[in-house]
Every structure is written in structure tokens, then in C-alpha cells.
Amino acid sequence: MIRTVRVGLQARGYDVLIGSGLLDQAGGRIAPLLKRGRTAVVSDTRVWALHGARLAASLEAAGVAVSPVLVPPGEQTKSWEGLAEVCDRLLALELDRGDLIVAFGGGVVGDLAGFAAAIYKRGIDFVQIPTTLLAQVDSSVGGKTAIDTPRGKNLIGAFHQPRLVLADLDVLSTLSDREMRAGYAEVIKYGLLGDFEFFGWLEAHGPAVLARDPQALAHAVARSVEMKAEIVAEDEKEAGRRALLNLGHTFGHALEAETGYGEALLHGEAVAAGSAIAFRFSASQGLCAGQDAARAEAAIAAAGLPTGLGAVADKPFAADALVRHMAQDKKAEGGKLTFVLARGLGETFVAKDVNPETVRRFLIAEGALP
């Protein structure tokens, strides 16, 4: 069964399709969006080796000529250099503004290809075909595109909505267990930030989701996308409620920056640790009950995800360095740090006036060096 979630942005709205077999249906679903029968598929070499032949066959069967633009896998590709390379390849293919790019991969490819689409000849359409759990439930939906810089994650980017998202659950069978857990961090985030009933469901069914049980996986992905679609439709440019989706990200992005945006700490792992830390910070400030913070941490730990500083690096973090990264975060304003904090499970809010010294002292209590 294919589930359809609509992202309601009026004329720029689009469907997110969730289910099995969508890769083989991609040609028939993408061809009607094309003005001429050609597309550039931006993918990484690992995803293309696993699934590229099926996607190409589907597109070609629908009369669509395919030009692969392949990049190396890994977060390091989401850079100025990676962006320049993709844009140059698109120019060499002589794509025009009536053509369309397909982003075929995880969050790195989706962010990179989406940003290239946003700026190529001042904007070209694109379709997302996310191949990781994290990308299916989060980064492929909502139009956020960006690259990383040495000064921070996702600091250079644009809002550019896709025309269509195809989330084929079958491709998740080739993910490593670690990548599944990293994606699950974003799933549990939705329960923590605004749906206590979903959080309770995940406590009971999380192991089935991670084991790729078809029914459990379909429900987890669909509910996550429903929540994100609802929030994006209300607040596309993150002026209000959409900021809640950053639960765990202010702490998490700082951890990623300190570990070099590499395999040492995947984005989902950073979000998991950041979410647990955000709940404990909320409890330390008297905002939520300690038992709620403990329950959030337990649910994250039960999925095999990190919950604190000591679990994500082989050497201690420095509190001052982490706070400096947080000050560079795009959400920081006027020397104050911005966090998504909790009043309870499923009840979060945006705090824009958090004192950096308060955070520094808390991080030292968490085990960071002064």
C-alpha cells in the first residue's frame, strides 16, 4: 500500500509517497513533471551502485533520458567544493530551467542536490528520492537545502521545495544497522517534540521499526512525515513553530562540528545525544520533570543511540568550544543561544534567550572540560 501525505503549500504543495516498490514506479511518476524527456540524477557512488540500475531502468522505461551526477558518499561532500562540482556537471549537461533534477540518496545528497537546484540558473525543479530512514522522515520533506562550512553545519543554503518525494521503504533493507538507528533518532524526535501518543507507540514498537518490520516501519515513516508536513505547511520559513523540529540540533550540531562532520558521529546520532541533553538541560532549569527527562533518555538509549557527551567521542569535549559552535548556529540571536527545550514529553518550546554561561556550566556538569 502506498501512503500519500500532502505538504500543503498552495501552488507549491507536493505529495510525499511512502511505501514499497516506488523505485520501480519512479519513471511513471516523474515523467509527467518533465517538459522534455531528460533528467540529471544526483546520487552518491554507494547508493548508485546499490540502486541506480533500478531507478535508471524505471525512468528510461517511461521515456526519460538519465544523466547520473555522482558524488562521494559522506558529509564532507556537502561543501563548497561539492556544490561547485555538482553545479559544473549540471552546466556541462546543458540543463535548462524547464528540466528537473532528481536527488537520489540520503540527507547529504538531498541537501546538496536541492541547494544546487535552488541556485542553478536561479532555480530549477527537483524531486527527492530519499534512500535512508533519516532522509525519508526528515531532510527530504520541507525544502531545507544547504551545505556545511568550517564555521558550522547548514549555514549556507536556501528554502527550495521539491515537486515530489518518493520514499521507497524497500531501499532501507540495504542500510546498515547503524544508519537505521541514526534515522530512528529523527523518528523519536517527533514523539518527543509534539506527539506523546506516538512517543508511547515508539517505546513499544521501536524494536520492530529498527528490525524493518514492514507495518511498523510504514507507520513510523508516515506519522513522522505527517507531523513534519503539518508543521511546514504552517511555518515554511521557520519563523515560528517549525523551529521545534530543531529539538536536539543546537547541542547536536556543536558535537558534529567538534567531531569533524565525519563517520565518528552521524547526524542522527548527534540529534539523539542532543535531544537527551536538551531534556536533561530542561530538567536542570526546572522546566520539566526529571522523570520525563529520564524517560526520554531511556527511549533513546534503548535504540542503541548515544545520550551524552561521553558516548560520542574518545576524548572529552571542551565546554567553551561547544558553546562557541552554538553561538555560530544560525538560530542564535543577539549573543543569546536558541534551544528547543521541554516542559514534558511531547511538549516542547523555543527558548531564544538562553545564557551561554548557563549552558557552559551545565556542559561541565555533563562531563565536558572547562
Catalytic residue among 179, 238, 258, 366: 238
Is 357 labeled as catalytic in the residue annotation?
A: no
Catalytic residue, chosen from 253, 280, 325, 360, is 253
Answer yes or no: 181 catalytic.
Answer: no
Q: Is 253 a catalytic residue?
A: yes
List the alpha helices (DSSP H) in 43-79: 45-47, 53-61
Largest CA distance in the chain: 61
Residue 40's SS3 state is strand
| pLDDT for residue 260 | 87
| CA 203 from centroid of its chain's CA atoms | 21
219 tagged catalytic? no
At residue 5, the pLDDT reads 97
- Integer-rounded Cα Rg, in Å, for the chain is 20
Q: Which of 51, 78, 181, 242 is catalytic?
A: 242
Catalytically annotated residue among 267, 280, 325, 360: 267
Q: What's the grid cell of residue 247? A: 529539538
**Domains of the chain, earliest start first:** 3-174 (3.40.50.1970), 177-365 (1.20.1090.10)
Classified as helix, coil or strand, 285 is: coil
241 is catalytic: no
Note down pLDDT in tens along the chain; length 370 residues. Answer: 899 999 999 999 999 999 999 999 999 999 999 988 899 999 999 999 999 999 999 999 999 999 999 999 999 999 999 999 999 999 999 999 889 999 999 999 999 999 999 999 999 999 999 999 999 999 999 999 999 998 888 999 999 999 999 999 999 999 999 999 999 999 999 999 999 999 999 999 999 999 999 999 999 999 999 999 999 999 999 888 999 999 999 999 999 999 988 888 999 999 999 999 999 999 999 999 999 999 999 999 999 999 999 877 777 899 999 999 999 887 777 778 999 999 999 999 999 989 999 999 999 999 999 8
Residue 226 annotated among the catalytic residues of the structure: no
> Do the strands 337-344 and 347-354 form a parallel or antiparallel pair, or are they unpaired?
antiparallel
Identify the three-state secondary structure at position 10. helix
Query: Of the listed 153, 246, 269, 325, which one is catalytic?
Result: 246
For the question of residue 258 being annotated catalytic, the response is no
Choosing from 75, 186, 258, 366, the catalytic residue is 186
Active-site residue, from 89, 160, 219, 228: 228
CA atoms within 13 Å, Cβ hemisphere of 24: 6
Residue whose entry in the numeric block shows the C-alpha cell 531564544: 352
- What is residue 73's three-state secondary structure? coil
How confident is the model at residue 333, as a pLDDT?
Answer: 77
Active-site choice (249, 280, 325, 360): 249
Give the C-alpha separation, 318 to 320, whole Å. 6
Is 197 among the residues known to form the active site? no
Among residues 94, 122, 315, 357, the one annotated as catalytic is: 122
How far lies 176's CA from each of 111, 166, 211, 351, in Å? 21, 21, 11, 35
Q: What is the spatial distance between Cα 322 and Cα 140, in angstroms, rounded to a whole number?
A: 28
One-letter amino acid identity for 332?
Answer: A
